[in-house]
């Protein structure tokens, strides 16, 4: 299965994934994209040039990602 | 996806160097991952992350940054690994910069371990550590109040007390430990070097907060320069003022040596100013070796000694308690090499600077040399001296007693002996030359030998 053109994937926890192309391979049970993507969740913003993942997004491999890791407060604050 | 893993190593240092328990938030920005990054959710809420091909990140709005070829974050154990096979791992925050082949941060212990080609620079003081490994413990409220660092494998430390120090002490030891910015310990064949100073010992301790240093295990301290000095003892303590050494103590079997003197005693204190020795004190318990100062021609023994050596030039020695000074006579005293001596409850000996007659060979400038010119004994004073005059080729012998004896010397010979208070003594003059033996004229020369008839 392949979706093209302003694809938006919304995870159950509200995180969103935006890309131009996304593919689902039933044989590999894998979701992937070879195009730029943007991943947003409340504490993180990641951009990359492609990714591969399982349908639950538990094992995700991103190509050349960059972004913001979120705010971190040291334990002794 | 993977950014949270960077946070642990990009922790911000406190704004005040004295408060090592603070910190501030770091908003991590991944500048780039040149290869791939993978996150694996091993269980709900626990995601491991791996990235390679070059990872660059920084804390937003600060100078804290991280570079590494590859990284791995293990959420379950709170461990973050950084590997820099092609390019060293580089971590920089407001307090320290660290380069190494590998580094691992253990979040729960607030511990960073770095291995291979480690170079750590304290950005506050400018001190640099180079070695095969470094373990760094961050300060953490409830865990430890001050940062600590450990290094083994004989690291080299360019130790600076403050960033503006011109020249660091180079410290090498089998293993070192740091606590805060100003306390350190070293163990195993410790060497400390600077252009004006060198020290050796099995172990050392340095505490700049209280201005204290310690060397044990065959310790030896050496002042370098034109007028050098050395000090050995069972234990050597250093008194520091700022970054400068102001006091060096030898405790037990002390031996101090200068350009023209040698000091032996159970305890020796050397006072240093402007990187040069200024004063020395020596003493010991009653059952120990008595304090002894030896210069080229003079030996002084007493219960305690005080030497004035401004800018490492011997000018005065004060001896207290059963003081005895012996003075070698010059090389012309061939027939009687008995030394001059003076004793009393206390002694004061003074040296003056004279041009060294041995110096200046080849037209060079003569170096001044300390020469004894006066010795004063007080309290039950006694002295035995050889006194020369122009009439006799042999010296007269003088033994004097009194409350005070003052001896003045010129050219290494006794010039004056002044005895005051209950003075007595004896003066022995050499025998006058025998009168001419006129009887010899009446005796004809024995010419028989020459004229002995031959066979």
pLDDT in tens, B65-83: 889 999 888 888 888 899 9
Q: What was the pLDDT predicted at A70?
A: 46
Q: pLDDT: is B449 or A26 the higher one?
A: A26
Report CB contact under 8 Å: B28, A59.
no
Higher per-residue confidence, B135 vs B258: B135
Across B246-260, B392-406, B423-437, least confident range:
B423-437
* Cβ contact, residue pair A69, B37, below 8 Å: no
Q: How far apart are the first and last CA of chain B?
A: 130
pLDDT tens-digit readout, B106-124:
877 878 899 999 999 988 8
- Note whether A74 contacts B: Cβ–Cβ < 8 A: yes
Would you say residue B360 has pLDDT above 50? no
Residue B336 binned pLDDT confidence (cut-offs 50, 70, 90): low
Give the model confidence (pLDDT) of B288-302 as tens digits.
778 999 987 889 999
Residues B54-92 as b/e (b if ≥16 CB within 10 A, e otherwise) read bbbbbbeebebbbbbbbbbbbbeeebbbbbbeeebbbbb
Q: At A31, which helix (H) or strand (E)?
A: strand A30-33
Cβ-defined contact of B24 to A46 (cutoff 8 Å): no
Is the complex ipTM more than 0.90? Answer: no
Does residue B333 have a pLDDT over 60?
no
> Cα–Cα distances in Å, from B262 out to B129, B226, B232, B328, B419?
37, 17, 12, 16, 29
pLDDT at B54 over 60: yes
- Please indicate whether residue B86 or residue A71 has the higher confidence score (pLDDT): B86
Rounded distance, CA B304 to CA B291, Å?
Answer: 6
- Judge contact between B103 and B112, C-beta under 8 A: yes
The predicted pLDDT at position B32 comes to: 82
Q: Does A50 touch chain B (CB under 8 A)?
A: no
Distance CA B322, CA B292 (A): 12
Q: Which residue has the higher pLDDT, B2 or B159?
A: B159
Interface contact A11, partner B, CB < 8 A:
no
Backbone torsions φ then ψ of B300, nearest 5 degrees: -125, 130
Chain A interface test: which of B37, B51, B108 (most A C-beta within 10 Å):
B37
Nearest to A72 among B28, B110, B139 (CB): B28
Quote the percentage of chain B above a pLDDT of 90: 41
The DSSP output letter for B420 is E
**B26 vs A contacts (CB less than 8 Å):** 71-72, 74
Rounded Cα gap, residues B188 and B205, in angstroms: 12
pLDDT single digits (tens) B170-227 = 999 999 999 987 889 999 999 999 888 899 999 999 988 888 999 999 999 998 877 6
| Threshold 0.95, pTM exceeds | no
Instruction: Dump pLDDT digits (tens) for A7-25.
Output: 998 888 888 899 999 999 9
Contact status, residue B214 vs residue B187, Cβ threshold 8 Å: no
Better-scored residue on pLDDT, A73 or B362: B362
pLDDT band at B84 (very low <50, low <70, confident <90, very high): very high
How far is the alpha carbon of A44 from chain B, nearest alpha carbon, in Å? 7
A chain contacts of residue B8, beta-carbon cutoff 8 Å: 72
Per-residue pLDDT band for B440 (boundaries 50, 70, 90) equals low
Q: Which of A64, A69, A74 sits opposite B3 (nearest CB)?
A: A69
């Amino acid at each position: 299965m392949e979706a093209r053109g302003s694809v938006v994937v919304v995870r159950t926890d509200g995180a969103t994934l935006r890309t131009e192309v996304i593919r689902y391979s039933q044989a590999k049970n894998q979701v992937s994209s070879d195009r730029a993507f943007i991943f947003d969740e409340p504490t993180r913003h990641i951009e990359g040039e492609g990714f591969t993942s399982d349908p639950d997004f538990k094992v995700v491999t991103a190509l050349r990602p960059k972004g913001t890791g979120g705010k971190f407060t040291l334990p002794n604050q | 996806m993977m950014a949270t893993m960077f946070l642990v190593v990009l922790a911000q240092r406190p704004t005040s160097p004295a408060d090592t328990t603070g910190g501030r938030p770091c908003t991590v920005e991944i500048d780039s991952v040149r290869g791939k990054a993978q996150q694996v959710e091993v269980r709900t809420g626990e995601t491991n992350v791996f990235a390679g091909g070059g990872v660059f990140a920084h804390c937003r709005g600060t100078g804290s940054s991280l570079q590494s070829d590859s990284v791995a974050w293990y959420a379950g154990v709170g461990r973050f690994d950084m590997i820099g096979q092609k390019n060293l791992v580089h971590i920089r925050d407001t307090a320290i910069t660290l380069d190494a082949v590998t580094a691992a941060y253990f979040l729960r212990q607030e511990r960073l371990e770095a291995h291979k080609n480690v170079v750590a620079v304290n950005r506050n003081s400018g001190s640099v550590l180079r070695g095969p490994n470094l373990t760094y413990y961050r300060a953490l409220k409830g865990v430890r109040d001050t940062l600590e660092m450990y290094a083994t494998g004989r690291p080299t430390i360019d130790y600076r007390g403050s960033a503006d120090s011109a020249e660091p002490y180079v410290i090498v030891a089998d293993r070192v430990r740091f606590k805060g910015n100003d306390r350190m310990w070293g163990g195993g064949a410790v060497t400390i070097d600077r252009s004006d100073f060198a020290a050796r010992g099995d172990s050392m301790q340095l505490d700049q907060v209280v201005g204290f240093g310690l060397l044990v295990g065959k310790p030896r301290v050496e002042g370098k320069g034109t007028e050098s000095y050395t000090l050995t003892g069972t234990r050597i303590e250093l008194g520091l003022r700022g970054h400068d050494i102001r006091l060096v103590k030898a405790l037990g079997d002390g031996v101090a040596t200068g350009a023209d003197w040698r000091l032996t005693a159970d305890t020796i204190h050397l006072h240093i100013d402007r990187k040069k020795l200024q004063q020395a004190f020596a003493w010991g318990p009653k059952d120990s070796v008595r304090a002894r100062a030896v210069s080229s021609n003079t030996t002084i023994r007493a219960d305690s000694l005080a030497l004035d050596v401004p800018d490492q030039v011997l000018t005065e020695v004060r001896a207290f308690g059963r003081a005895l000074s012996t003075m070698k006579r010059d090389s012309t005293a061939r027939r009687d090499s008995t030394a001059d001596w003076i004793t009393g409850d206390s002694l004061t000996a003074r040296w003056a600077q004279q041009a060294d007659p041995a110096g200046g060979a080849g037209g060079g400038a003569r170096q001044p040399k300390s020469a004894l010119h006066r010795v004063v004994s007080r309290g039950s004073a006694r002295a035995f001296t050889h006194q020369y005059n122009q009439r006799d080729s042999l010296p007269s012998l003088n033994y004097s007693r009194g409350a005070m004896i003052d001896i003045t010397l010129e050219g290494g010979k006794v010039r004056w002996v002044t005895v005051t208070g209950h003075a007595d003594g004896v003066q022995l003059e050499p025998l006058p030359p025998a009168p001419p033996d006129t009887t010899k004229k009446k005796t004809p020369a024995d010419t028989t030998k020459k004229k002995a008839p031959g066979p």
